[in-house]
Chains A and B, each alone.
Chain A
Amino acid sequence: MKNFLTDKQRKAGRGRLLLSLVILAGLTRPAFSQAAGDPGARSRSDARKPRTVVIDPGHGGIELGAKGKLGTVEKDITLAIALKLKAMIEKNMAFQVVLTRDKDMDVPLESRSAIANNQKADVFISIHTNSSRQKSAEGSETFFLSTGATPDEEIRRLAYLENNSSRIEGHVDKTSEDDVKMILWDMAQTAYIRQSSQLAEIIQAELNSLLGTRNRGIKQAPFKVLTGAACPAVLVEAAFISNPEEEKKLASDAFQASVAEAIYRGLTKYLQLYP
C-alpha cells in the first residue's frame, strides 16, 4: 500500500550510510564486519540451535475477530489453521514452533510480538481471515509492515540490541558504541522489511496454487501485531469470512488444512533461503 521508502527516509538512509561507512572503515576486526554484514539475521554463533517460528492465530477470547453471515467466527478458524500448521511443522521439520495461543483465550497484540522476541523467533506469522464491507470481496493476500509506520520501533530496537549487543561490545570503543548500535539497528530494520516482503511473496504464491482463491497479492499495512516483532513478520489473510462462499470453505477441515499446508510450504522455502 505504501512506497517501499519515502524520499525522506532515503535521504536519511544515505546520511546514515555515509556515517556507517566512515565508522566501519575505522574497524578492521573481522568479527564485527561479519556482524555488520548480516545484521537482519540471527547471530550464527547459535546456528546449531534449532530455528524458531512463532505462529499467531488472530484474535481469541472476547476478541472474536470478523464474523461470517453463516455464524462462523474468525478466532475459531485462525486457531484451527494454526494448530494444523503446528502439527505439520512438528511432524516434518527440524525447527521449533511456538503458538501465541493454543486455545480460545485473550492475548493482547503487543504480547503476541513479545512472544516472538522472547523466543528469539526467526519468523513471525499471524494468521487471519479477512472481512470487507463489499459483498463481492474474495481472495487471499499476505501483508507485511509498511515502513514509516513503526510506532513500537523502540521495543523492536531494544529486543534487537538485547539479542545482538554481545557482538558489538569489545569490538568498538565506548564512545562510538551507541552510533554503531543505531546503524546496525537501521540496517536490521531494512533487512527485516526486505525479508518480510520475501516471505510474504513466497507464502502468497503457495496460497495461490493451493487454495484456488483470488490472488490479492502482497501488501504493506500498519498492522499493530507486526509493529513489535524484531524479526521478519507477515500477516496472512486467508479468504473472506464476510463472503458466504468463502466462509463455507473456511469452516471446512480440508480448506483449513490447505491454508496450513500453503503456509508450511512457504515457510520451508523461505528458511531454505537463509540456511
Chain B
Amino acid sequence: MCTHARHLPAWKGWCSARAAGLALAIVASGGPEADAALEVTAVVIDGQEEPIPARPAGGVPAAVRVPSNARTLAFRFREVRDSNVMGGDARLRYRLDGRDDTWRDLPAAGRALLWFVDKEGLVIGGLDEPMPGETPGWNGSVETSPYAPVSLHAVAPESTFGVVVSFLSHNGERVVGCLGIDEMQLSCARPGEEPRVLPLSPLKFSGGVPRPQSLPDGWQRVGTRPELSVVRLRAAHEPHPILAVEDDDVKRFGNWTVTSRVLPEARSGDTVTLAWTSAHSFGLGGEGVATYEGLAPGTYTFRVAAFRANGDPAGEEQRLQVVVVPPFHQRRDVWAAGALGLVAAGVFAGRTISARRMKRKLEALERAHALERERARIARDLHDEIGAALTEIAMQADAVRHEVADVASPDALQLTDGICRSAVALVRSVDAIVWAVNPANDTLNRFAAYLVQSTEQFLDAAGLSMRFQVPSPLPETPLAGTIRHRLLLAVREALNNVVKHAQAQAVTLSLRLADGMLAITIEDDGVGFDCSRPPADAEHDGLENMRARMREIGGTCTIDSAPGTGTRIMLRLPWPPVPLPGEASHAQDQRGPGRG
C-alpha cells in the first residue's frame, strides 16, 4: 500500500527485514524496546483526512501543515506488531508538545463485580463497578503504590442464593494495565439481625508459601487469559500477599473470582456490602485517536509512545511535527519581529528569543480564550434568540389554555399543556448548554451552586421536598465544561427518574469530595425497584443514559434499590477529573506530572 509505505519511520525497516528472515539477530541487538512499532496512521483536520508527508531517506520528515483557522486536529495512531518478543502489548500514550505537559492515556477502566446468583448459580443481578484511570499516587507497582478504599452496596434480589465477587482487567476492549486488590471484606445485613462479616483478606494459602502463580484458598483464576491474574506481596504494614491482575494483553484479560460456595449465604432482601482497597492504572493499547482544538499558530510535535502495562516507558516512540500556519497578517507581524531581532541581534539576541517565546505563549493563551469567548457568545446568542421565542410560545400556549378552558375538550387542553411544558423544558436545556460553555463556570464551586439551584427548581416544580448535603464553600478546583455538563445531565437524568417512576416524597442530593473521588448521590424514599430485573423501557433508557454520561468522563454510576426501599444513585468521578482528549481547559494543569 503506497500511502502506508510513505509514513513508515526509518526503523520500521526492521520489521520488514525481520519478515525477510533477518529478524532474530536485529531483535536481539535492538533489545526488547525495539520490538514494538508505532505508527501515526492519519492526521485529520476538521474531519478531513490529510496525507502524512513522506520521510526522505535518512532525513527528517516534513511537518504537517495545518491552517490556523482549523477547529479540530486529530491524530490516529496504532501499534504495529508482528510478534510478542517484548512479552506483551504496549500501552499507548500520547502528547502534543507545545500543548500538553504530560503523557495522556486513552480512557480505560478495570472492573469489580458483585453478583447475586440463584440456586443454579445463574447470575440474577448485582453491581458492576468500573475502576477507571489511575489511583492517586500510582507508582508503577501494585506492591508499593498507595491503595484507595472502595465499597459497593446492593440489596439481594428475589431467589438469591449466594454472591460472586470478581476483579478483572477488562471493561470493553483493548484495556491494558495493572490492578491490586487488598483489604477485602464482605458483609451481609438483614433487618433485625447482627450483620455477618466475612473478611476476605488476608488471603490464605493452604498450598504453602505464596508465589505469583499460587492460588489463594477459595479464589479462582478466570478470564480469557487466566495467568494474567497473579499473587503479589504488598509492602505496606506487614508484607502480605494480595490479588493482582497484570494485563499487557490488548485482546485478553485476567480475572480473580470467588464464588458463593465459599462466601456466606445471602438471601433476598439482605444488604450486601463489598469493601476493598485498590491500586490500579489502566490505559488502552492497539490503537487510538487524540483530538485537539484551538491550536495557536506555532510548531508542535505529536508524540505517541509505547508504555508497559504498569505505566513505565517502554522506550518506543513515534513523532510527527505539526506546524499551525498563522494567517497572512500575523505572518507579517512575525516577520517584522524577526527583522527587529536582526537589528538588535548583537546585544539583545537572548532577550529577543525569550520575548518571542513569551509572545507565542501569550498568543496561545489568547487564542484559547478567544475560542472560549466565541463559544460562549454563540451559545448565548442562540439562547437569547431561541429562549425568547420559546418563552413566547410557552406563554401564548398558556394564554390559549386559559382562553379556551371552559369550551375546549380535555384532549385539547392537554395538548396545549404539553406545548407549554415542552417549551419550558427546552429553555432549560439551552440554559444548561450556555452555562456549560461559559468558562467563568469552570470550577467545582460554581458547579455545586448551579446543581443546587437547578435541582431546587426541578423538585419544587414537581412538588417534592428535598435535602441538600453539599458542603460550602467547595474548592475552586477547575472543572471543564464538558465534564460539568455531563455530570449535570447525569444528575438530571437521575432526578427525572425519581419524578417519573419513584413516587417519592423527598429527595436527598449530596455531594462529597474525599479520597480522590467526587461523589454525587441522589437518594429518594420512593417505591424502589428490583435491581436484578430489567426495568421498564423508559426507566431503563434513563439509567443507561446516566451510565453512558458517567462513562464518557471516566466516572461511574451505581444504582442501589429494592422494592419498597427507595433508590440510591451514586455518581462517582475520580478527582481531579482527567479532561477529555482535546478539551481546551484549565483543568489540564491540575494533572500531576506523568511518567516517561
Query: Are A and B bound to each other?
Result: no
